[in-house]
Structure 1
Amino acid sequence: MIDSIRMSFANFVVPDTLLSLLVSTGLLIVAVLIARALVSRFIRRQVDSMELRRRWLVQTRNGFILLLMLGLALIWGEELRTLALSIVAIAVAFVVATKELIMCITGSILKAGAGSFSIGDRIQIREFRGDVIDQNLLATTILEVGPGKLTHQRTGRMAVIPNALFVSEPVINESFTHDYVLHVFTVPFKRDDDWRSAQQAIVESARRQCAPFLEEVRRYMNRLSVSRGLEPPSVDPRVTMQVPVAGEIHLIVRVPVKSGQRGFIEQAIMSEVFQNNDYLPRPQTNENTPTAPPS
């Protein structure tokens, strides 16, 4: 054991360059210590004021420490530069290898800092849309809702979204108001259809479906608007008209609903409106057609 240790020390050779740097470092430290001791001794003997003496001693100590650091930087500058280049190369390789993980962590910090959503909210990012059931540092898990953007029923599938998407993609939070939301859906008609009667029927049906909780929604929206400093929105059911292309009329229906009953209220209104009427074009009578004379 002792022989192996002796052999190790015997084979240990310090390079001339390193030896020169060590000797220069030692001489610099000794010179700085001697100079500081001489200056401190001079200050203690020549300065009578205790406060001024303490101030000069502190300033000279800090000055010599700065001088020592500058001297060490000059002596070891080349080696420090080589070490820095090696560290930078290792850091670049590490960043390239873990780019996705770093972006996931950054996305997690971004969504947490912005308060984009929380557990239970319904969100949409890219083609992913669903209810958030879990989130951690790397990924967010949702229960898919669909198919498409207009359906509000769960498909039974789960999607795990990497948090890196939150760095570059906008997030739509459909549950921003949490307990109650303003649900919007579209009912398309052709221009020749009896869309006016359908519009009136949708308004009446929406009022009946929302009547049990309309006042509660109004109070909730008022409280939320006051807490967020916003103008309180109108929560009364409404139907507006849109003409996306020639020959078509789209009725835009907006109703207040509980956060988890969007699909239920929408289907209840549609079923009630179209149960006994298809709102097809009304038959037109030709006033120029001659009528047969009475017999």
Structure 2
Amino acid sequence: MLEQFSAAIQQVNVSMPSLRLLVTTLALLLITLLARAVLSRLIRTNIQSTELRRKWLVQTRNGLILIFLLGLVLIWGQELRTLALSIVAIAVAFVVATKELILCFIGSLVKGGARSFDIGDRIQVKDFRGDVIDQNLLATTIMEVGPGKLSHQRTGRATVIPNSLFVSEPVINETFAADYVLHVFTVPFRREDNWQLAQQVLLQVARAQCEPYLESARKYMRRLGERRGLEVPVVDPRVSIQVPVAEEIHLVVRFPCRPGQRSAIEQSILWEAFGNNDFLPTGKSIGKTGESVTHSME
């Protein structure tokens, strides 16, 4: 019995500060209401002008409301500070627990605001490369293209990319131009190979492959440059030379094509160029076994 009475006394002692704050708040409210009533009566009695009286009534009311709110802040300041700390702690815990989801939402806003890509575009993010087939607020699904960065064949695998990657990683859109793109591929040779002939043959074959739609590609690139304020690129096929190391010559073939025909035209150029030529050094040819055979130079 004594223990129950002691516990009741402790509970009353704990609730006393809250009761004191409530009583103080009620007293502040009564004082504010009384002050408003007194001031309103004085204004109505002493001010004859209707417009001036209404002005003073409104200003008095707003002033008393401001004083009441400041009084509440002073009375409940400690409790409000404790409540604010609790809310901040909960908010921090929530942000930490849902960090990845928040980044996914932000990434969705980033890619949507920047219009980085759309359904059907071929993109590359970090090591992920493929055609976009679906996107939502949390993730983007692509059909993988590969193997490697130079291939244009679908592997049959789907990759789901979290949108959080679009916040911190650059996005490469390989189909930025909708109708025609400039496709580039590299053909390596040794220094002693007949790369001069290879350059001529590749350029001739590329021109023949692009001839049916070359003028249409020129007009499209011209319109694209005017619309986006860009310098119009040279659309005609070209074969450039690169020397990555002293022993090698790389021929860089560039030609215009539609986005979906890159792989097919590239393979056609290679098949036609290498089907009729071997480009080996002078005095060598390919034997039936596929080995290099040196002719007599007598």
Taking structure 1 as the reference length, the TM-score comes to 0.89
1:211 CA drift (Å): 0.9
1:39 is matched with which residue?
39
2:261 is matched with which residue?
261
Measure, in 2, the Cα distance between the counterparts of 1:69 and 1:17: 20
Is the partner of 2:283 in helix, strand or coil?
coil
Is the partner of 2:155 in helix, strand or coil?
strand
One-letter amino acid of the counterpart of residue 277, structure 2: N
2:101 is matched with which residue?
101
Measure, in 2, the Cα distance between the counterparts of 1:23 and 1:283: 109
One-letter amino acid of the counterpart of residue 126, structure 1: K
1:41 CA drift (Å): 2.1
Deviations 1:17-65 (A, max 9, x none): 1111111111111111111222222222222333332222222222111
1:199 is matched with which residue?
199
Structure 1 stretches of 4+ moved >6 Å: none
Measure, in 1, the Cα distance between the counterparts of 2:49 and 2:278: 104
Unpaired runs of at least 5, structure 2: 1-10, 285-297
Measure, in 1, the Cα distance between the counterparts of 2:78 and 2:163: 42
One-letter amino acid of the counterpart of residue 57, structure 2: L
Matched, 1:57 2:57: yes
RMSD, matched Cα: 1.6
Is the partner of 1:15 in helix, strand or coil?
helix
One-letter amino acid of the counterpart of residue 253, structure 2: V
Matched, 1:275 2:278: no
Measure, in 2, the Cα distance between the counterparts of 1:66 and 1:215: 74
1:219 is matched with which residue?
219
1:146 CA drift (Å): 0.2
Is the partner of 1:183 in helix, strand or coil?
strand
Deviates more, 1:211-220 or 1:153-162: 211-220
1:85 is matched with which residue?
85
2:236 is matched with which residue?
236
Deviations 1:175-230 (A, max 9, x none): 11122111111111111111111111111111111111111111111222222121
Deviates more, 1:35-44 or 1:45-54: 45-54
One-letter amino acid of the counterpart of residue 52, structure 1: L
Measure, in 1, the Cα distance between the counterparts of 2:244 and 2:17: 80
Measure, in 2, the Cα distance between the counterparts of 1:47 and 1:239: 94
Matched, 1:116 2:132: no
Measure, in 2, the Cα distance between the counterparts of 1:254 and 1:44: 89
1:67 is matched with which residue?
67
Deviates more, 1:260-269 or 1:226-235: 226-235
Deviates more, 1:169-178 or 1:144-153: 169-178
Measure, in 1, the Cα distance between the counterparts of 2:134 and 2:42: 70
Q: Equivalences for 1:137-148 in 2 at 5 Å?
A: 137-148=137-148
One-letter amino acid of the counterpart of residue 92, structure 1: V
1:7 is matched with which residue?
none
One-letter amino acid of the counterpart of residue 176, structure 2: F
Is the partner of 2:161 in helix, strand or coil?
strand
1:272 CA drift (Å): 0.7
Is the partner of 2:256 in helix, strand or coil?
strand
Amino-acid identity (%): 67
One-letter amino acid of the counterpart of residue 140, structure 1: T
One-letter amino acid of the counterpart of residue 144, structure 2: E
Measure, in 2, the Cα distance between the counterparts of 1:115 and 1:38: 63
One-letter amino acid of the counterpart of residue 256, structure 2: P
One-letter amino acid of the counterpart of residue 273, structure 1: A
